[in-house]
Chains A and B, each alone.
Chain A
Amino acid sequence: MLIEVSLIHNNRNIMKITEEVRISDNGFVFNSRTGDSFNVNPTGLELTKLIAQGHDFDTIKSLFLEKYELDDLTFEKDFYEFVALIKHHQITSQEDPLDFK
């Protein structure tokens, strides 16, 4: 079932999932403004949903470190890579991917 992404504006979080993006529970992501669609793996889906829910970087990091066997550096590297990728595909809107706090 497709879910509408709710946008939670947070002063600390300047990245948001764009309004036209729909994310389905099975990892299918559709941008109705560009017509692009993507498949994200379960980890990507989890990340995308956390971003959509308005969580900031620190919260997402602590959630992931708690749940998975992962070190800080690996998380940060993978996280920024993922964020840059979804920004490139206009899933998120953000001036600078590195500004995500």
Chain B
Amino acid sequence: MSKTKITIAVTGLNNTDNPGPGVPVIRSLKESTEFEVRIIGLVYETLEPGIYMEGLCDKIFQIPYPSAGSDELIDRIEEIHQREPFDVLIPNFDAELFSFMKNEDRLLKSGIHTFLPTIKQFQERDKDKLPEYGEKYGIKVPASINLGSQNQISEIKDKFEYPVMVKGKFYDAYTAYNTEQVKQSFNKVSAKWGLPVIIQEFVKGTEVNVIALGDGQGNTIAAVPMRKQYITDKGKAWGGITLSDDKMLEITRSLIRQTKWKGGMELELIKTVKGEYYLIEINPRIPAWVYLAVGAGQNIPEALVKLALGQEVAPMETYKSGKMFVRYSYDIIVDLEKFETIAMNGEI
């Protein structure tokens, strides 16, 4: 069977020690059995490693940060689309998702398909709303309070036992063992991600994750549980292994059924020694370890592209447990001209 030719634009080519999912998403798409893909890489920074990886992208364009304004970002996407038309756009950053979700119809009118959560789905899983989310969908979550100012730090000792987790609205999490450490973490997190800063009960256990894909109708198209085996000081998985854990799959399917989740997602859970699962976070996009799911038998980016194009996708119900990924760093030697081109022209 000949493969369908398709062009896909992907963001998140920052394969650093805090890796974006762009590069593994592209690798997954290149292994599609149904599509022959042409890749447009969309980058924010001129040193995103994906720009310099040979054979990864066919064309690369720089785009403005969403903080510069949604319209500016979407105008640039449309401009790129006019020059190098693409069929599907896969955004991979939390911070850019809102702009793309808000402009889904506008993009579709231009012929750009996406498959993203709805704004309601996106907003109700915000970290500062996790307790309400857990109650609504019947999932255990750690107790938490939102701090709007440093003055509220004194409230912590009445509500929690130390240690506690200090978390930013979008990223970053620190463990704090006393009030002083909470203050330090509060300052770091609020300076970077703004307010509120979330104080979360520390749940002792093993961190496990599920990558999943919902079709927007309540069906789970793909789900693969994983345990991080090697964690960097930024809390990122540098090695992981797929698990055979029915309870994790049940939690995922129940959540997708109830929320009718549309798009890729990652559930971050803590499994306690008693075998209880606490949801600590939902990432509303494909995570950077997606290629492990492909290796285990579920090509999630390929399925997402088919859903974006309105094609039927049957749920993938099996995968291999005990598949591992081990990440590595690698130095690419780059000629100055390439860096100069992207820096000066905003494209390669």
Contact = CB atoms under 8 A, between A and B. Distances in A.
Contacts of B322: 22, 30, 32
Contacts of A32: 243-244, 321-322
Contacts of B321: 20, 32
B240 to A, nearest CB: 8
Interface in A1-52: 20, 22, 30, 32-35
A34 B226 CA distance: 9
Interface string A52-85: 0000000000000000000000000000000000
A34 B248 CA distance: 11
A22 B322 CA distance: 10
Contact of A20 (B206, B208, B227, B244): B244
A55 B23 CA distance: 51
A73 B245 CA distance: 39
B229 interface: yes
Interface residues of B, number: 11
A33 B245 CA distance: 5
B86 to A, nearest CB: 38
A32 B323 CA distance: 10
B8 to A, nearest CB: 32
B244 to A, nearest CB: 4
A32 B241 CA distance: 9
Interface in B194-229: 206, 208, 226-227, 229
Contacts of B227: 34-35
Interface string B295-328: 0000000000000000000000000011000000
B250 to A, nearest CB: 13
Contacts of A30: 322
Contacts of A35: 208, 226-227, 229, 241, 243
B208 to A, nearest CB: 8
Nearest to B247: A33
Contacts of B208: 35
A84 B321 CA distance: 26
B269 to A, nearest CB: 13
A2 to B, nearest CB: 9
Contacts of B206: 34
A79 B321 CA distance: 30
A71 to B, nearest CB: 35
Interface string B225-256: 01101000000000001011100000000000
Contacts of A22: 322
A59 B54 CA distance: 62
Interface of A: 20, 22, 30, 32-35
Interface of B: 206, 208, 226-227, 229, 241, 243-245, 321-322
20 contacts: A20-B244, A20-B321, A22-B322, A30-B322, A32-B243, A32-B244, A32-B321, A32-B322, A33-B243, A33-B244, A33-B245, A34-B206, A34-B227, A34-B243, A35-B208, A35-B226, A35-B227, A35-B229, A35-B241, A35-B243
Given A34-B206, A34-B243, 16 more contacts: A20-B244, A20-B321, A22-B322, A30-B322, A32-B243, A32-B244, A32-B321, A32-B322, A33-B243, A33-B244, A33-B245, A34-B227, A35-B208, A35-B226, A35-B229, A35-B241
